[in-house]
Structure 1
Amino acid sequence: MNEELQALQENFTWDIVSCPPDVKPKGCKWVYSVKLNSDGSLNRYKARLVALGNKQEYGIDYDETFAPVAKMTTVRTVISIAASSGWSLHQMDVKNAFLHGDLTEDIYMTPPQGLFSSSKGVCKLKCSLYGLKQAPRAWYEKFRSTLLGFSFTQSQYDSSLFIHSTPAGIVLLLLYVDDMVITGSDLASIQRLKQQLQSAFHMKDLGTLHYFLGLEVHSTSKGILLHQHKYATDLISMASLESANPVDTPLEVNVKYHRDDGDLLPDPLLYRQLVGSLNYLTITRPDISFAVQQVSQFMHSPRHLHLAAVRRIIRYLKGTSHRGLFFPTGITPKLSAYSDADWAGCPDTRRSVTGWCMFLGSSLISWKSKKQARVSKSSTETEYRAMSAACSEIIWLRGLLAELGFPQTEPTSLYADNTSAIQIVANTVFHEHTKHIEVDCHSIRDAYDDRLIAFPHVSTQFQVADILTNAVPRPRHQFLVSKLMLLDQPHQFEGGCE
């Protein structure tokens, strides 16, 4: 607490003033937490002074609150490029990040416990404080303006990615609230950037990237493995399944889950906690994306059968908790994609499930398993909608890769196994079978005409996106997992990757 108060005073966070008669000062409280390392060992104890932002009124105490954070697809893309190019990954953390933000509103706060008696006055905040609704936005604007002053440019495709091109190479910085990842080909500029950040903010240089937002990063000469073993272990403990037997697939084959099957859970809290945690685990686990998409549909009124499905997913994780995405070195950063759909897969709404995945070389960087917004009249329409959704992601990724210095000079291959859907793209004649498809889906034709994408046919047997649209038997599940470049143990790539 003393360290926190000292940091607040050194940052000139407030002035002590008399409280205006027409103002009721906001309260504050101390929040205590224990910070752990990736292996579960103690890192440090932490005390944080938090303003009671729940008492703020919109339009009086704050306006803008949103603060962008790096997209996980961008994080995986940057790590893939760093692995393939042999770049080192650095991590830095900002101490008391939100205290650096500048406030434009007049906010009065009661003095914190341990400072002085409230009879001596109140704190008029000059800088943002944790708990204020505008604090994340104020910090982001402060950091953004500082980096722009260091001759960085902000990405047009991800506002939390900052790029600096130098004669010797490139420097990339990814920001996620107060955590940042720095990489690039110009090591001298990276060191200079660290020094500039140290002089502008209270920074902590964490060295080589090992642990970031619950993601564990293992680097070797063969590549980088990104996994969430500790997070998965904690999830298994939350579900009280430490002694359960593992299973080979996350869902049973040919089992459809209805929203009204079985009895309601008396308390849905545990179900919602588990599904929310599973959603975060899909950052590195595309093999459970479809299963998590299925159980996420029942968050409003989960039933015992739905909880059984969640427990099966966690039992699958128990046997594969070390599994993660592998990004090999020396690959050619060429973008390719797979698109698939499961026609009328939802038994309640008869809507279809879209599945697509994007590869940079052999590295998986983006994927999606999502129910479509409308009922489709045919499997061709379903596949066409899935291809259109994948096309939007391809165009975004092509723009991002061009900014990073890896432009895609050839059309991106989008592999699909439905020849009818491929023919609709190439045939500009609207006929009775496609008239009912929304115009926005047909934007895929413009991308095809502009030679941004191409549509090679792939056999259903080799359709990688199949794992994102339905539950598959164990042999096929294992085959598709291998195609997604998912590895089970860090030691598996110490000697290379086949």
Structure 2
Amino acid sequence: MGIVVLLVYVDDIVITGSDSALLGQLKTHLSESFHMKDLGSLTYFLGLEVHHSPSSISLNQHKYASDLVATAGLQGATSVDTPMELNVKLCKEEGDLLADPSLYRKLVGSLVYLTITRPNISFAVQQVSQFLQTPRHLHLAAVRRIIRYVQGTSTRGLFFPAGNSTHLAAYSDADWAGCADTRRSITGWCVFLGDALISWKSKKQDRVSKSSTESEYRAMSLACSEIIWLRGLLAELDFSETDPTPLHADNKSAIQITANPVYHERTKHIEVDCHSIREAFEARVITLPHISTNLQVVDIFTKALPRHRHCLLSSKLMLVD
């Protein structure tokens, strides 16, 4: 059975599928009802540039990134090697308020859209997104640094090799008490389909965790929810996963909490929705292989990194020029 997928934004439509005859019938039907122009193979859509080759498809936002640099007035600025300065903790009330926050909000909104193809700036963008209501000069300086990083890597984007495996693999991690204002932890997770990165998240947790184990357990639970959703999506597309999906984590205690059905005294305060990961583990939807911290790719979603490690993990996310 052929599969057709439509992506519609106002009057722009992307149509893709596995059955060329069915695609042709759909385009004919649409053209009978609407004035429509077929632009052929997808090369540009809402700022996303699509590059095809016999061995791959790659996505970037080069023009969008260049326009963002111009909007920030940084065309002549020197580029930097990382999107965020190491060991910097942005605070809500440090420094002077911006007289007009509109530019800050516009730049941050543009950076959020840029993370569609630039997951390696997700953590930095998550950090500056917290201050949209009352941004300060230090926050704007952090935004400008992200844009200077983007300026030097504007042609970088996601790479999807041809003939890629359809098996999922996931990674999760957390930076315990990473928020200087609230002491909430930062969750990071990502999911690969074969070698290709298809889903990721960098987000502050919605409550304070009492230990690093608890914060990583929460991150694992959120990653597990994404795995379950993606497995369902693959099943809809006739790519059902029969093997459990490995969810790689580097905290042995968090793994033990999931694998051990005993309701530990130290975990009784964790809400029920987090413990849903236990059901997924017992049902063999996921496995929980331990991974060494220095191999944990999700570090890039939870903290600022030195240049060498940032470049290494960016390459592991299949980000290429």
Secondary structure (helix, strand or coil) at the match of 1:226 reads: strand
1:477 equivalent in structure 2: 310
Secondary structure (helix, strand or coil) at the match of 2:250 reads: coil
Q: For residues 30-84 of structure 1, what are the alpha-carbon distances to aligned partners after superposition, in whole Å with 9 as ceiling and x for unaligned?
A: xxxxxxxxxxxxxxxxxxxxxxxxxxxxxxxxxxxxxxxxxxxxxxxxxxxxxxx
Query: How far apart in 2 are the matches of 1:217 and 1:449?
Result: 40
Query: How far apart in 1 are the matches of 2:194 and 2:11?
Result: 31
1:181 equivalent in structure 2: 14
1:102 equivalent in structure 2: none
Does residue 421 of the first structure (1) align with residue 254 of the second (2)?
yes
Shift of 1:171: 2.9
2:79 equivalent in structure 1: 246
TM-score by length of 1: 0.64
Secondary structure (helix, strand or coil) at the match of 1:477 reads: helix
Does residue 409 of the first structure (1) align with residue 242 of the second (2)?
yes
1:290 equivalent in structure 2: 123
Shift of 1:170: 3.0
Query: How far apart in 2 are the matches of 1:230 and 1:374?
Result: 38
2:132 equivalent in structure 1: 299
Query: How far apart in 2 are the matches of 1:427 and 1:399?
Result: 26
Match of 1:219 among 52, 62, 66: 52
Query: How far apart in 1 are the matches of 2:152 and 2:96?
Result: 29
Secondary structure (helix, strand or coil) at the match of 1:437 reads: coil
2:163 equivalent in structure 1: 330
Matches within 5 A, 1:133-172: 165=1, 169-172=2-5
2:37 equivalent in structure 1: 204
1:127 equivalent in structure 2: none
Shift of 1:178: 3.0
Q: Which range moved further: 186-195 or 382-391?
A: 186-195
Query: How far apart in 2 are the matches of 1:175 and 1:404?
Result: 19
2:232 equivalent in structure 1: 399
Match of 1:372 among 187, 191, 205: 205
Secondary structure (helix, strand or coil) at the match of 2:3 reads: strand
Query: How far apart in 1 are the matches of 2:50 and 2:77?
Result: 28
Query: How far apart in 2 are the matches of 1:268 and 1:463?
Result: 36
Query: How far apart in 2 are the matches of 1:176 and 1:451?
Result: 38
Q: What amino acid sits opposite 2:74 in the alignment?
A: L
2:289 equivalent in structure 1: 456
Query: How far apart in 1 are the matches of 2:106 and 2:5?
Result: 35
Q: What amino acid sits opposite 1:292 in the alignment?
A: V
Shift of 1:202: 1.9
Query: How far apart in 1 are the matches of 2:69 and 2:18?
Result: 39
Query: How far apart in 2 are the matches of 1:198 and 1:382?
Result: 52
Secondary structure (helix, strand or coil) at the match of 2:16 reads: strand
Query: How far apart in 1 are the matches of 2:205 and 2:71?
Result: 32
Q: What amino acid sits opposite 1:439 in the alignment?
A: V
Q: What amino acid sits opposite 2:201 in the alignment?
A: K
Q: For residues 81-126 of structure 1, what are the alpha-carbon distances to aligned partners after superposition, in whole Å with 9 as ceiling and x for unaligned?
A: xxxxxxxxxxxxxxxxxxxxxxxxxxxxxxxxxxxxxxxxxxxxxx
Query: How far apart in 2 are the matches of 1:430 and 1:409?
Result: 29
Q: For residues 125-166 of structure 1, what are the alpha-carbon distances to aligned partners after superposition, in whole Å with 9 as ceiling and x for unaligned?
A: xxxxxxxxxxxxxxxxxxxxxxxxxxxxxxxxxxxxxxxx3x
Shift of 1:303: 0.8
Secondary structure (helix, strand or coil) at the match of 1:339 reads: strand
1:272 equivalent in structure 2: 105
Q: What amino acid sits opposite 2:51 in the alignment?
A: H
Query: How far apart in 2 are the matches of 1:240 and 1:186?
Result: 46
Matches within 5 A, 1:40-79: none
Aligned residues between the structures: 321
Secondary structure (helix, strand or coil) at the match of 2:266 reads: coil
Secondary structure (helix, strand or coil) at the match of 1:275 reads: helix
Shift of 1:378: 0.2
> Larger C-alpha radius of gyration, 1 or 2?
1
2:215 equivalent in structure 1: 382
Q: What amino acid sits opposite 1:404 in the alignment?
A: L
Does residue 444 of the first structure (1) align with residue 272 of the second (2)?
no
Secondary structure (helix, strand or coil) at the match of 1:205 reads: coil
Q: Give the fraction of aligned pairs with identical amino acids, expressed as a percent.
A: 71
Query: How far apart in 1 are the matches of 2:12 and 2:286?
Result: 35
Query: How far apart in 2 are the matches of 1:310 and 1:253?
Result: 14
Q: What amino acid sits opposite 2:22 in the alignment?
A: S
Q: What amino acid sits opposite 1:390 in the alignment?
A: A
Q: For residues 438-467 of structure 1, what are the alpha-carbon distances to aligned partners after superposition, in whole Å with 9 as ceiling and x for unaligned?
A: 011001111111111111111111111110
2:319 equivalent in structure 1: 486
1:361 equivalent in structure 2: 194
The structure in which a higher percent of residues are helix is: 2
Shift of 1:435: 0.6
Q: For residues 292-327 of structure 1, what are the alpha-carbon distances to aligned partners after superposition, in whole Å with 9 as ceiling and x for unaligned?
A: 000011111111111110000000001000010000
